[in-house]
Structure 1
Amino acid sequence: MPSIFLPPTIQPIHSAIAQQAGVNLSVLRLDFMHPWVNGNKWFKLKYNILEAQQRNFTTLLTFGGAYSNHIFATAAAGNLFGFRTIGMIRGEERLPLNPTLSFAVQQGMQLFYLDRQKYRERQTTALQTELQQRFGEVFIIPEGGGNLNGVRGCIEIVNTAAFDTVCVACGTGTTLAGIILSLQKGQRAIGFPVLKGGEFLASEVDSWLKNYLASGLPTANEAIASWELICNYHMGGYAKVNDELLTFSQQFTQEHGIPLDYVYTAKMFYGVMDLLKQGFFQRGDRLLLIHTGGLQGNLGIEKRSLQ
């Protein structure tokens, strides 16, 4: 891969809440890596794109909702690496396009829409065969980059043993699985599902871990690090945002100079700060919070919140 990506930086957070809890707090700024293809989305795309190149595919096809960070990043990455891109979007077309889909089109992505019932079949062989027949030889990347290539890339996110606990927001569990596989003995990972009823992700993450270790793909460790899910900071469900989260995000950005995306990172940061107040973490614990990017989605959500 060409060196068009900046290495992520670790930024300390000087928080009175963390200081009172006796906890050291830092954030891994994956949002700095590239203006458009950043955060965990790049790590989940990296090995999918490499496989597509090695197998001489010229078209990437993937799935996502109307505000999908993955659709945004895949469109930009496809443009950067010379692929035609097709986005299968959940739901009906709504014009004018929101900022996420407008950007995708500007990057050359062709958008097609699947009704919600059809969209639920996106992982089936029947639908994928239908799409291959419709669009020709396309390299299909699952929604959110959720496959073993995605897990492999996410193993590369955390490459330091300088932290005791790593916290990350979860949608599919792919990123969390990769982080778990990268951690050393004594480290642990905590995932914060952004979907209502996110407890189901425990079995998803467990499957990713078992399947990856059985695949023979490279991994940092054969042992699986300690991990858990904390499921009560979803704020009502996926892409649901309330006034409390908006206020927290704005205040956090003003105080620490770190913008948060409302769909993922803000919910995790809110949860961590709340847990610090409750004394959830041990004194002396060194926490690393993963900023997974996705800031472009804020504009659409802010517009919806003002309506």
Structure 2
Amino acid sequence: MGENIGNQLSAVEAELYDRQIRLWGIESQEKLRASNVLLIGIRALGSEIAKNILLSGINSLTILDDGVVTKEEQVKNFLLYPDSIGKKIADEVLLKGRALNPLVKIKVDTDSPASKDQSFFKKFTIIIATGIKTDLLLKIDKICRANNVKLIFGDVFGFFGYSVADFQEHNYFEDQVQLTGKGKKRKHDGEEKTTVKVQGTINYPELKKVIILPNTKQNADCIKKTKRRNDLFFLMLTLIEFRNKHNRHPLVSSKVEDIKSLQAIRKDVFELYQVDQSKSSLFDDLFEIIFDEVVPVCAILGGVIAQEAIKAVSHKEVPINNVFLFDPISYDGKEETIGA
């Protein structure tokens, strides 16, 4: 899995990454230094993920996207130039991407993600996916599980965003501060503090047990048993199914038709999960704010997804298990454990 390179940091790397080495330690930085990352999709969200991943100090980033730059995309994507319109988006982000961190190897691939076989996906340490349909996502997840490759995917729809991770059996460690003074109960009595490394394990379910949609043969019973599921989880499923049907985000230019499609999909999702149909009015309000990709939300989700990828590769700190939902009303994040 990945290229066989030495983990030891060079003097240049140690100087460049000095601040983050102080934050998460030399061992974690060396694991990042040895990692090879695949990013599927380099649109508004993907560009934010790429920025954070590149600055973290990985070994290599491969960008896979067969799209062409549109006028709308050029405005939203800070890695593009005004004259990029009409050109392959993966090629056009290369120059600014390399400028972010010249020490990271960046490769671009303008093939369709669906055209790639198992041998392509299995060589990476972690795969970060955006903007792909569920059937391809589940296919990639199966390959990842067979080859011990970690996977996280996510998308931004207007003011709403989410991520879902499958890090399989993930071992991590975190630093915890403990008091060492014996028989002393109060800090001002002179208790000393020490930092200890605490280890843990999270077992992630495969994605076919998390992303269960209407009109499939998948069994949703394990998720339906959870009585107090966050409503945003069902919004996520509705939007994922919209992409499966239309291969795009909902658009302002086709707002009336797209909302009708979303309402029909929501009805099927609610029936599958036996959700109270009275929640429909809430979703009608949310449907008004899920069009296109809102750049500030892409920046937030890009930071979250990159942070989780860094945790997965470095095995430092506790990652989200396993769904992150960005609330478009309160602008805060909600964590959900689905399918475990």
Normalised by the length of structure 1, the TM-score is 0.33
Normalised by the length of structure 2, the TM-score is 0.31
Select the structure with the greater relative contact order (CA < 8 A; seq sep ≥ 6): 1
